Amino acid sequence: MYKINENYLKLPGSYLFSTIGKKVAEFTAANPDKKIIRLGIGDVTLPLAPVVVDRLHTAVDEMGVKDTFKGYAPDLGYDFLREAIALHDFKARGVDISIDEIFISDGAKSDSGNIGDIFDVDNKIAVCDPVYPVYVDTNVMAGRTGEYNADLGKWSKVIYMPCTAENNFAPELPKETPDIIYLCFPNNPTGSTIKKAELQKWVDYALKSGAVIIYDAAYEAYITEDDVPHSIYECDGAKACAIEIRSFSKNAGFTGTRLGFTVVPKELKSGDIMLNSLWARRHGTKFNGAPYIIQAAGSAIYTEEGKKQTKDMVAYYMQNAKIIREGLTDAGYLVSGGVNAPYIWLKTPDKMTSWEFFDYLLNEVNIVGTPGSGFGPSGEGYFRLTAFGTYENTLEAMDRIKKL
Ligand SMILES: *Cc1c(COP(=O)(O)O)cnc(C)c1O
């Protein structure tokens, strides 16, 4: 008689986006004449860059010709893409990453979930609170998180690192020592970043305590300030304690196209076992490579034209971010994020809960955002707006909020 993985049964329902959907549908049914503006979107909305579309077309043509047809991609990714990444994402920032430390995948979500495969179930994880839910839920599935306390919204074996206005939305070194530390900067949902010197403290801490950092840099292209690191490997010693996860989703609009990569440096070792070898084995066994046409299209963002076109896309969203940040500030809100990230995180006014504020915005000005409490207990009393809407809608949304 087979048994299921009962860890899945421990997962609390993810009601955040379904509840939002339900509330919006109810509102629309009752108010068909009202124009709703959605600033809760965690997905890009601009089309793919022209260089990417062109390369997709030519790559498809190659697949239709015997001489240039490609079957299975190399397990770890095509060299042309890994070389472009090593050069443009790392060497250009003074970081030496060799191509056999780069593993191409179908995205950062898969990688951040799958990476747990190479770690024992008896590792204690530390996460920021609020957090991108994938880090926690995949560890629940693996049986690493203990029991869920619904009142607290917390797992018994997870170390939570609160990120609130009090610490400027940057986690503090935990009192209890974790084995695996998840960090994401620029952050989703808070939009916060930390400076290089602060990230160095995490690297030093991990090296000293024997922890590994899983660093999600999916939003690095949104960094506008100088002293904010784009890669954790800009910090001394990080190659011996950190895995970095990257994505083409937010920097090049690949959310529906699917491409990402993970860096596992060879210096990263448990005793004399290289994590790089374990991940290579895992990747080779359970993944048959991202499609050639997608990897070819991804490599197009590293051409001069590609860099310019993707930079313009990011700039479009960041103009929205600025409008939201300044609009909310003018309207008297306490706001963070939106400078190095497409997310704006605001304190709800008058001690409203995150969901009370959601209803208030929806009913009064017909704007949809995301309640902060959906990302973890320390998100209560906060609210997330995103810069992924259109410029026109973003402007109109701020006009409406200012008139509230
Ligand atoms: C959007 C996002 C990703 C990207 O995931 P993909 O699977 O590459 O689309 C990764 N991490 C965070 C925190 C995100 O918000």
Please report the atom of ligand 1 found closest to the CA of residue 187: 13
Q: Give tens-digit pLDDT for 257-272.
A: 999 999 999 999 999 9
DSSP helix, strand, coil percent of the chain (3-state; round to 5): 45, 15, 40
Q: What are phi and psi of 386, to 5 degrees?
A: -120, 160
**Ligand 1 atom 11, closest CA:** 218
User: For residue 185, how far is its CA from the centre of ligand 1 (angstroms)?
Assistant: 12
Q: How confident is the model at residue 47 (pLDDT cuts 50, 70, 90)?
A: very high
Q: For 282-330, how does the pLDDT look when each residue is reduced to its tens digit (9 = 90+)?
A: 999 999 999 999 999 999 999 999 999 999 999 999 999 999 999 999 9
CA distance 22 to 397: 21
Can you state the angle between helices 292-299 and 50-63, rounded to 10 degrees? 150
pLDDT recorded at residue 14: 80
pLDDT-derived band at 340 (thresholds 50, 70, 90) equals very high
Testing ligand 1's pocket by substitution, the residue of 138, 185, 249 carrying the most ligand atoms inside 8 A of its CB is 249
pLDDT digits (tens, 9 = 90+) for 219-247: 999 999 999 999 999 999 999 999 999 99
Q: Which two structure tokens, joined as six digits, stand for 267?
A: 């210096």
DSSP code per residue over 276-345 = HHHHHHHHHHH-----HHHHHHHHGGGSHHHHHHHHHHHHHHHHHHHHHHHHHHHTT--EEE-SSSSEEE
pLDDT band for 41, please (50, 70, 90 cuts).
Answer: confident
Give the 3-state secondary structure of residue 152. coil
pLDDT of residue 377: 97
The residue-averaged pLDDT of 35-45 equals 94
Question: Residue 79 has what pLDDT?
Answer: 98
| pTM (2 d.p.) | 0.97
Give the side-chain half-sphere CA count within 13 A for 96.
4
Residues 207, 175: Cα–Cα separation, whole Å: 16
User: Do residues 345 and 384 touch, judged by C-beta distance below 8 A?
Assistant: yes
Mean pLDDT of the chain: 97
The residue ranking higher by pLDDT, 41 or 103, is 103
Pocket test for ligand 1, best of 216, 261, 340, 384 (most atoms within 8 A of CB): 216
The DSSP 8-state label assigned to residue 135 in this structure reads H
Classify residue 75 by its DSSP letter. T
Overall average pLDDT of the 55-76 stretch: 97
Distance CA 83, CA 64 (A): 25
pLDDT of residue 42: 87
Which of 195, 304, 314, 337 is closest to 248 using CA atoms?
A: 314
Q: What are the tokens at 92? A: 């250009």
pLDDT of 15 higher than 90:
no
Domain ranges of the chain: 6-47+305-402, 53-304
Label residue 13 by pLDDT band (50, 70, 90): confident
What radius of gyration do the chain's Cα atoms show?
21
CA of 109 to the centre of ligand 1 (A): 5
Domain 6-47+305-402, CATH? 3.90.1150.10
Chain centre to alpha carbon of residue 174: 22
Containing 297, the helix (H) or strand (E) segment is helix 292-299
Neighbours of 403 (CB within 10 A): 9
CATH topology identical between 6-47+305-402 and 53-304: no
Taking residues 348-363, report their average pLDDT: 98
Question: Hey, CA dihedral for 285, 286, 288, 294, is it positive or negative?
Answer: negative
Beta strands in 118-189 (DSSP E): 125-129, 148-149, 154-155, 159-162, 180-184
Protein fold of 53-304: Aspartate Aminotransferase; domain 2 (3.40.640)
Rounded to the nearest angstrom, the distance between the alpha carbon of 114 and the centre of ligand 1 is 13
CA of 11 to the centre of ligand 1 (A): 20
372 annotated among ligand-binding-site residues: no
382 near 345, Cβ under 8 Å?
Answer: yes
| Ligand 1 atom closest to residue 259's alpha carbon, by position in its atom list | 8
Answer yes or no: is 270 a known binding residue. Answer: no
Q: Would you state the pLDDT for residue 104? A: 98
Collapsed DSSP state (helix, strand, coil) of residue 174: coil
pLDDT, position 292: 98
Confirm whether residue 219 is marked as ligand binding.
yes
Return the best residue to mutate from 43, 132, 244, 386 for the ligand 1 pocket (most ligand atoms within 8 A of CB).
132
